[in-house]
Structure 1
């Protein structure tokens, strides 16, 4: 769709004064304008999957979101993956062209050079310990009850992201009713995960005890990790928390909640966990997605059996 200056101005005005949800619905309608009916049906399907994955307004999309989205197609045919990613890039490009997005973050993602997310964003076990140590240091230095509560919340977020392998949206949506005792420990019930697949994750005793102490007398419907204003912590507010702790730990500023999820998968595979169990814990749609962890971090290679040079 080629846009003249007149069209650009008209489209920009059409969505400028609308609330976010209505503005983005209008944006998608404008993007689809002029396409064949059969194409519109397909593009709506592609867009629905992308926005469900994004789990936040399109206005907040980042390059990292696109990379993670590309990695989410591990079990699909290569051509299918490229069609869906191309549609997301096209929507982002259109949104930038009419002034809804300040940057076209999709330009940096080349369809022929999709990044190896697991290898590029790998945290080893020592890195995880550095993150926990940095978050613990914040807790030790907190002077007021409010700051102590926030620092403890952030420490438990880091621990649970890693140990349960949760997605950012999943940890933000947790209520205390989703956590139930299991012997001396407990489990987390993840509701409405991606692909409408609920799952239950067992929690080790030490972390469970820390979570229960943090819970105190909170109501079952209360958020496990509330925001400063009360209610559930928003996904877009989770990333700055993880980033600040990562920087304090001396790690990359690019570290996000999803890096901890990747770390869970990689470390579990490296420690000999059955890939099927890793698949069920992480909520992957199929084993091909989980298999990326094994291929990215193999425990053996024929190269090790060759002579030294």
Structure 2
């Protein structure tokens, strides 16, 4: 196996460092970029039959890019994942082209494979309320139960990602009317906090036996360590199984439900985009498809000439 040249490896690290410093990309995102681009760079010398240096990238053709994509698909990579990988590779190649003054229109013109976007799977309003209530019954220790309720209430009541809820510190409490949340890519947003969510967090703080230092995590495990995503997923899973809800009823589904229910109540997309912290409105527009699907289902079942009544 022919390894990528040191110059290419160094260039990759410089690109990632720039994304970290100037664009504030999250570490998980940068690791995914490193993995995707490294795989591409490792493929090139095997495909070309010789070592490829920095200058060699200028000779990349559309067939070269398609050969790499075919190689990944043959290895079991799905269309959605390949589109993400291609985005990372094109980002790196575009940076190289600008930095080195290279002509790379051919590799940068390759199109991503088409795939059907997965629509969010929201939980119904009644189911969301039942889930939060049932979460409180999953642990015999009262303070743990109030902690779990506080977390899932923030997910549904504020539309937080689970990572954002678990990133709250003791200094954030007692919660104010709004929270300043730092989301993906270091993007900040202001999120209103409902009184019921503030009260849920206060109930937890009152009962928590651990000292909640300002610089430490707000939500703690039984042993006082930072609460893990897995613990939240586990208690949510137990509650949804008790209620007979589908496997798609996850902590992240509560965030989807927050957005969907706001849209159903007349919220506009731009506002919902800001509340969710989406960088692009197109991401938020997925919720219009969810709402349209729901309306069409009602139409089909209710109209005299609906397909499901024919």
TM-score, normalised to structure 1, is 0.59
Give the deviation of 1:219 after TM superposition. 2.7
Alpha-carbon distance in structure 2 between the residues aligned to 1:197 and 1:129? 29
Give the deviation of 1:178 after TM superposition. 2.8
Give the deviation of 1:304 after TM superposition. 5.6
Alpha-carbon distance in structure 1 between the residues aligned to 2:144 and 2:271? 33
Unaligned runs of 5+ in 1: 3-20, 41-62, 71-80, 89-110
- Equivalent in the alignment of 1:124: 124
Structure 1 segment 123-142 matched on structure 2, within 5 A: 123-138=123-138, 142=140
The 1:27/1:177 distance shift into structure 2, 3 A limit, reads same
The 1:252/1:177 distance shift into structure 2, 3 A limit, reads same
Alpha-carbon distance in structure 1 between the residues aligned to 2:186 and 2:204? 29
2:194 counterpart of 1:204: yes
SS in 2 for 1:155: helix
Alpha-carbon distance in structure 2 between the residues aligned to 1:181 and 1:268? 22
Q: Is the 8 A contact 1:179 1:189 kept in 2?
A: no
When the two chains are superposed, the root-mean-square deviation of aligned CA atoms in Å is 4.1
Alpha-carbon distance in structure 2 between the residues aligned to 1:213 and 1:250? 28
Alpha-carbon distance in structure 2 between the residues aligned to 1:273 and 1:280? 12
The 1:26/1:187 distance shift into structure 2, 3 A limit, reads closer
2:185 counterpart of 1:161: no
2:261 counterpart of 1:267: yes
- Equivalent in the alignment of 1:103: none
Give the deviation of 1:245 after TM superposition. 1.9
- Equivalent in the alignment of 1:187: 178
Alpha-carbon distance in structure 1 between the residues aligned to 2:218 and 2:56? 42
Q: Is the 8 A contact 2:156 2:258 kept in 1?
A: yes
SS in 1 for 2:285: helix
2:172 counterpart of 1:170: no
Give the deviation of 1:168 after TM superposition. 1.8
2:220 counterpart of 1:220: no
Alpha-carbon distance in structure 2 between the residues aligned to 1:178 and 1:196? 18
2:42 counterpart of 1:33: yes
Structure 1 segment 1-309 matched on structure 2, within 5 A: 31=39, 32-33=41-42, 35=44, 36=52, 37=54, 83-85=83-85, 112-118=114-120, 121-138=121-138, 142=140, 147-179=141-173, 182=176, 186-191=177-182, 193-216=183-206, 218-298=212-292, 308-309=304-305
The 1:231/1:30 distance shift into structure 2, 3 A limit, reads same
Give the deviation of 1:288 after TM superposition. 1.5
